[in-house]
Amino acid sequence: MGNLKKLLKYPWKYKTQLLISIFSMLVQVIAGFMIPMLMATIIYEAIPFGDYILLWTTGEMIVLIAVVGLGFGIVNTLTSQKVAMYSTADLRLDLFKKIQSLSFTNIDKYKTSRLVTTSTNDILRIQQFFQMTLRIIVRAPLMIGIGLYMAVRTSVQLSSLFSISLPILIISIIIIMIIAFPRFTKVQKTIDGLNKVSLETVNSPRVIKSFVSMEHENKKFNEANELFRITNTAAEKVMVITEPIIMMIFNASLAGIIILGAYFIDQGYLINVVNGVELPAVGVLIAFNSFSMQILFGFIMFAMILIFVSRAAVSAKRVVEVLEEEIDLLNCEECIDEFEINGDIEFKNVNFAYEKDGNKVLRDISFKVNAGECIGIIGSTGSGKSSLINLIPRLYDTTSGEVLIDGTNVKQLKMESLRSQISVVTQSPTLFSGSIGTNLMQGKNNATYKELDEASASAQATEFIEGYDDFYNHIVQQKGTNFSGGQKQRISLARAFLRKPKILILDDSTSAVDAKSEEKIINEINKLSLNMTTIVISQKISTIHDMDKILVLNNKGKVDGFDTHDNLLKNSKVYQEIAQSQIGNGGAVDA
């Protein structure tokens, strides 16, 4: 419940609508209790004495009160919906912003599937809780409280029935809650698993079809789906059992009222004298029965609310966990904000591991790159090449040692300012739904048409872009599925070039480009390098052999050499092995 309380600040932002909703609900409840009282007046006074004026007046009053109750009920529904929708939208936005601010380490901790479930299913549960809060949570106590008062006031004798029915009802609700809460916790975890399998499958259609592993993936999804079905069925059984139990108590109470009423009539307690004749106090029975039904309906609502609360509490815990997650990459209190990178890069005794006590991916890395240099990085698979370049824009922090930009530790530079002057192009390019132009302008949102042309030409993307009738307005589908791998890489390169960064990092980003285009791109990079420092990760020596220096990493994450191509062929064992393997496979290495 503590986590739900933390989220109540969101609906409170709309306190005017909130108060209107609560007031409307109060009026609706009061209207519901006034009608049985007026019915008692008709039965007690109007009908026995033939007072048709009182009968018509009271009937009209009942209709008026019913209409007023209806009107305020509609107002309550509309305002509660508005508050729930707006407050949930605010919560969802805050959660999205928080997820955006999480470091890679934080995201690795929660996993994508968990964050997707939290952003969708968990938020939906909380939205339902907000709606139920304003429509029922306050109404249920009012119905129970006012109903008890009116019932006791109507008949103290009949009210003795509550000493039996209410404890049974309360105990039943408590038992249901104890059973329900852990089950709903398991449900949300199984949704995480279901989303995980779905995301993996949706993101890897080519691999699945290429390896004809549809049957395996179907089996894996079926297992996750079946686990969700079993877990959710177990949780929903609580809901199924709840209604019959409460209805049994409800009907038993109704029968108890009739039996107890008959007993008290027989004993002479519930008697009205009309024209000297003793008659059973039917009006008392009707009024008391109505008030009792209001009380029981209040408890039914309360029981259903607790089910929603138990679900929402689980989701609130998961949402609050993300909102309160301590981000491990933060700007220091006195970080340098306004600065312009020159381009010098230095690693000093850098060690890095993805987990606090995990195996080191990089070990004792030390090298220096001067501004304007073009540096190649090569090494065996798993040598830590991508991990190394992630430390430059501070996507991760070093486990020990320092990464310096222009002699200043990157931890002393404001991350937004640092990253805005660095462009990174990954091996697996990411395009967003929109157009070619909107994707390119992520590099520079106020770019001119001329700048778009220049960046596209440098990335060898002009040829296929000009093939579209709508040029830069050509639609990009989600993840760029309507483009080939080489086209996506060239759009990503153009986006990076458009920024005109001080440091350009290419992580094997020409792997899907043909040899001729790659050569042209490298030539363009060499021209652009006059105004920026360039780091190129490649699996091919032919791509990087003409660069100023080449950093070689061995499979233990250590530097095996940092020199020119010619010197590395003489002094680096790892580089020699890579060169020999590529020559042996028909590659060409200029010695």
Q: What does the domain layout of the chain look like in residue ranges?
A: 2-194+232-323, 341-421+502-586, 429-500
| Candidate from 151-165, 409-423, 529-543 with smallest mean pLDDT | 151-165
Q: How large is the angle between the packed helices 214-266 and 282-323, nearest 10 degrees?
A: 150
Give the best-scoring range by mean pLDDT among 49-58, 87-96, 143-152, 382-391.
Answer: 87-96
For a pLDDT cut of 90, what percent of the chain falls above it?
6
**At residue 68, does pLDDT exceed 70?**
yes
**At residue 586, does pLDDT exceed 60?**
no
**At residue 221, does pLDDT exceed 70?**
yes
Query: Tell me, what's the pLDDT at 528?
Result: 66
For 102-134, write each residue's pLDDT tens digit: 877 777 777 777 788 888 888 888 888 888 777
Shared fold status for 2-194+232-323 and 341-421+502-586: no
Which has the closest alpha carbon to 491: 558, 541, 438? 438
Select the CATH number that applies to the domain covering 429-500 from these four: 3.40.50.2300, 3.40.50.1100, 3.40.50.300, 3.90.1150.10. Answer: 3.40.50.300
Banded model confidence at residue 551, pLDDT cuts 50, 70, 90: very high
CA 229 to each of CA 192, 201, 223, 236: distance values in angstroms, whole numbers, following the listed order: 13, 20, 10, 10
Please tell me whether residue 401 adopts helix, strand or coil conformation. Answer: strand
Query: Tell me, what's the pLDDT at 512?
Result: 58
Distance CA 336, CA 201 (A): 43
**At residue 211, does pLDDT exceed 70?**
no
Select the CATH number that applies to the domain covering 2-194+232-323 from these four: 1.10.10.10, 3.40.190.10, 3.40.50.720, 1.20.1560.10. Answer: 1.20.1560.10
* Mean pLDDT computed over every residue of the chain: 81
Banded model confidence at residue 276, pLDDT cuts 50, 70, 90: low
Q: What is the mean pLDDT of residues 58-83?
A: 88
**At residue 500, does pLDDT exceed 80?**
yes
What is the number of alpha carbons within 13 Å of residue 128 lying toward its C-beta?
18
Distant-in-sequence, close-in-space partners of 175: CB < 8 Å, separation ≥ 6: none
Banded model confidence at residue 346, pLDDT cuts 50, 70, 90: very high
| Candidate from 107-116, 275-284, 308-317, 338-347 with smallest mean pLDDT | 275-284
For 139-163, write each residue's pLDDT tens digit: 778 778 877 887 787 777 777 777 7
Q: Which two tokens stand for residue 378?
A: 């090569």
- Which is higher by pLDDT, 558 or 162? 558
Residue 68 main-chain phi, psi, to 5 deg: -60, -45
Residue 479: DSSP 8-state: G
Which has the closest alpha carbon to 8: 79, 93, 84? 84
Which has the closest alpha carbon to 427: 540, 522, 498, 506? 506
**At residue 273, does pLDDT exceed 60?**
no
**At residue 347, does pLDDT exceed 90?**
yes
CB of 396 within 8 A of CB of 356?
no
**At residue 233, does pLDDT exceed 50?**
yes
Residue 276 main-chain phi, psi, to 5 deg: 80, 0
CB of 387 within 8 A of CB of 371?
no
- The full length of the chain comes to 591
Residue 582 main-chain phi, psi, to 5 deg: -75, -35
Residue 160 main-chain phi, psi, to 5 deg: -60, -20
Distance CA 100, CA 544 (A): 34
Banded model confidence at residue 509, pLDDT cuts 50, 70, 90: low
Which has the closest alpha carbon to 17: 94, 74, 71, 78? 78
Query: Tell me, what's the pLDDT at 38?
Result: 78
Q: What is the mean pLDDT of residues 188-210?
A: 72
Banded model confidence at residue 48, pLDDT cuts 50, 70, 90: low
Query: Tell me, what's the pLDDT at 227?
Result: 87
Q: What is the mean pLDDT of residues 453-464?
A: 85
Q: Which two tokens stand for residue 230?
A: 């079993």
Which has the closest alpha carbon to 184: 136, 123, 122? 122
Q: Which CATH class is domain 341-421+502-586?
A: alpha beta
